[in-house]
Chain A
Amino acid sequence: MTLSDDRSRLGSPAVTELPEDVTIATEEGRRLAEQLADNRRHARKLLEVRNLSTQFFTRDGVVHAVDDVSFEVDYGETLGLVGESGCGKSVTALSLTRLVPNPPGKIVSGEIILDGINLLKLSSEEMRLLRGKKIGFIFQDPMTSLNPTLTIGYQIAESARMHLRLSRKDADERAVELLSKVGIPRSRDRMRDYPHQFSGGMRQRVMIAIALACDPMLLLADEPTTALDVTIQAQILELIRSLSEEFGTAVILITHDLGIAAGMCQRVNVMYAGRIVETGMVDDIFETPQMPYAWGLLDSLPRLDEQKGARLRTIEGLPPDLIDPADECRFSPRCTYARDVCRQKEPQLTDRVGERHAARCWGTEPGGWIQ
């Protein structure tokens, strides 16, 4: 029995308070929804983020952690958010789920429209019901995201019970299936185990099972393999890839590892200092990067398929602090190609050659001085 067969038992439509297109859980409803989704697939994106700004109000000042960020995710697409620590990629993820720790953090402006619902307009109770149901999460540290005092089976079934209103027995059944789906052997026996009885890779599999428990439309994976070894990382990435293909789940993959982005994503957003500085299809980003920051990132990576290298070209200096950023290109202090205009006015994300390719750089704009 596969997961999709099991949909027939997923119970009655829940939560009537939500806008009508939030909950589709019966077989019939699902088929309808799929048609509907197909129809609007061309017209509408799964997720539209418009002018999102998230700030942290600290003693030293207001940190503009995510600053006027806009992007879209298509149905079934894997989008990479790439950048170094502090660039705002994780805060973007937290904002999407409205889990920004408050205080000190706050989403100060913008719209997050998931499948037609503006998440920022929902009450916190509605958001709680939507979280986990429409958006699944996988975080970096599988140990701290699982409750050590509850069994694995309970934690997976809990989500299905809460969001899909399954009976205890049905939810357990579903948990067993999910566990075997994510490649945990003897899944029925392991239901009764506690998180500490699993290895890091296995715990991340459990996290994926929880994330997929309600068949979400969007999977948010924040550095899902950073804590894992490279062979385990390959297993987990493969799992995410195959499951997202099988269920048509869109994925936002947040990573600092350009290699993972290259292998997993269809499109990539490069973030720097709270801004998206370049966006495009994965091939365009890696073949014809437009921002000197993206150049620098690619240059500073030693390559596995390269002979013992000469010195790496590096990006000197450190990222700026995000308290009251000036109106300038935020990369300009570290950019070897910067000119006066870069320090006087911040460039916009402007279109470049290539599909949906845009970058924020005066120098590489048509007519710029870097060609």
Chain B
Amino acid sequence: MANTTQALEAPAAARAKPSASLWSDALSRLLRNRLAIVGGVIVLGLLLIAIIGPYIAPFPYQSQDLDAVTLTGGPVAPFRGAHILGTDELGRDLLSRLMDGAQISMTVAMVVQIVVLFIGVPIGAAAAWFGGRTDSFLMRFTDVIYAFPDLLFIILLGVAFRETFFGQAMNGLLLVFVAIGIVSWVTMARLVRGQLLSLKETEFVEAARAIGVSDFKIVTRHLLPNAIGPVIVAVTLGIPSAILSEATLAFIGIGAQAPRASWGSLIADGQNYIRSQPHLVIFPAIAIALALLSFTFLGDGLRDALDPKLKGKQ
């Protein structure tokens, strides 16, 4: 009677490949995606500049090269002399200021996404897990936030907390970042809810319930590890929009205070010289575009690599 119970079939995929988890599979898929690698390298470069930028910058970001400015009678043009990317009208080195701006942009990327994770994931998870009235209440709440005018909210928040410690922290930037985070968690909450709702219905979760696995372990062992891929993608793809929001705010004068400058405020400052010295606008714009594109490429690559639809086909 034991014929079928003897070990049979070699595993379908075991031909040549060693046993690999889905994570390492995803990584190898990611590494095959050239755009994603380019994006990833640029992102790493930007992070590096954000961390060690102040130490390797040719000049301190706030120092003024008055001689150079007096000589030219305005902003110094790029690719001449000591200032590779030129200076602004006060003689401050543009490259150094851009490197300092990278720090602000990368901080935005991190802080906003942390805020988004801390608000969006629990709300989404709670809505999905409890369902019913809780779900409907939380989702209506997110709808309200979604419909709220972002800019107005951020400005109001800025005004309300300006005098407090929170408002002063990090040169006033923390407040801006948190404000951006507060208006951007909605997408994350919806994503997490959708993920968990569909995972809750899967048969492996039913199997865990049939075995008697506790709710806590079902969430931590079965639900979250399977939802984490899309969350990573959403975080990565959320970064460019956060950077853009910060740039927009800086452009209209909210956020980084002089003498510090983010890429957005550099553009705002430079627009006065857009005809005579367009490099003051062009270089910060290139920096923003580079950051946006590289995060987007990386995010797209991650999405393709983590896409569960690709799994069974390997």
Contact = CB atoms under 8 A, between A and B. Distances in A.
A318 B1 contact: no
A318 B8 CA distance: 9
Counting chain A residues whose Cβ lies within 8 A of the other chain, the interface size class is: under 10
A318 B9 contact: yes
A311 B1 CA distance: 9
Contact of A316 (B1, B8, B12, B15): B8
A314 B8 CA distance: 13
B15 A314 contact: no
A309 to B, nearest CB: 14
B214 interface: no
Interface string A299-342: 00000000000010010111001000000000000000000000
A157 to B, nearest CB: 34
Interface in A277-319: 311, 314, 316-318
Contact of A321 (B3, B8, B9, B15): B15
Counting chain B residues whose Cβ lies within 8 A of the other chain, the interface size class is: under 10
Interface in B1-19: 1, 3-4, 8-9, 12, 15
Nearest to A59: B32
Contacts of B12: 318, 321
Contacts of A311: 1
Nearest to B32: A59
Interface in B123-149: none
Contacts of B9: 316-318
A84 to B, nearest CB: 14
Contacts of B3: 316
A321 B1 CA distance: 29
A321 B8 CA distance: 16
Contacts of B8: 316-317
A311 B3 CA distance: 11
A318 B15 CA distance: 13
Nearest to B1: A311
B4 to A, nearest CB: 6
A345 B4 CA distance: 29
A316 B8 CA distance: 7
A78 B84 CA distance: 78
Contacts of B1: 311
A179 B214 CA distance: 53
Contact of B4 (A316, A318, A321): A316
Nearest to A321: B15
Contacts of A316: 3-4, 8-9
A112 to B, nearest CB: 27
A316 B6 CA distance: 10
A317 B4 CA distance: 10
A314 B6 CA distance: 13
A179 B3 CA distance: 52
B202 to A, nearest CB: 20
Contacts of A317: 8-9
Nearest to B313: A58
A316 B9 CA distance: 8
Contacts of A314: 4
Nearest to A312: B4
B7 to A, nearest CB: 11
Nearest to A317: B9
A317 B10 CA distance: 8
A314 B3 CA distance: 10
Contacts of A318: 9, 12
Contacts of B15: 321
A293 to B, nearest CB: 17
Contacts of B4: 314, 316
Nearest to B4: A314
A364 B1 CA distance: 28
A359 to B, nearest CB: 26
A317 B1 CA distance: 17
B167 to A, nearest CB: 50
Interface string B252-286: 00000000000000000000000000000000000
A314 B1 CA distance: 13
Interface string B1-43: 1011000110010010000000000000000000000000000
B57 to A, nearest CB: 44
A316 B2 CA distance: 13
A317 B9 CA distance: 5
Nearest to A314: B4
A3 B201 CA distance: 47
A316 B3 CA distance: 9
A178 to B, nearest CB: 35
Nearest to B16: A60
A314 B9 CA distance: 13
A321 B9 CA distance: 13
B30 to A, nearest CB: 15
A316 B4 CA distance: 8
Interface of B: 1, 3-4, 8-9, 12, 15
- The 4 tightest CB contacts between A and B, nearest first, are A318-B9, A317-B9, A316-B8, A317-B8
12 contacts: A311-B1, A314-B4, A316-B3, A316-B4, A316-B8, A316-B9, A317-B8, A317-B9, A318-B9, A318-B12, A321-B12, A321-B15
Given A311-B1, A316-B4, A316-B8, 9 more contacts: A314-B4, A316-B3, A316-B9, A317-B8, A317-B9, A318-B9, A318-B12, A321-B12, A321-B15
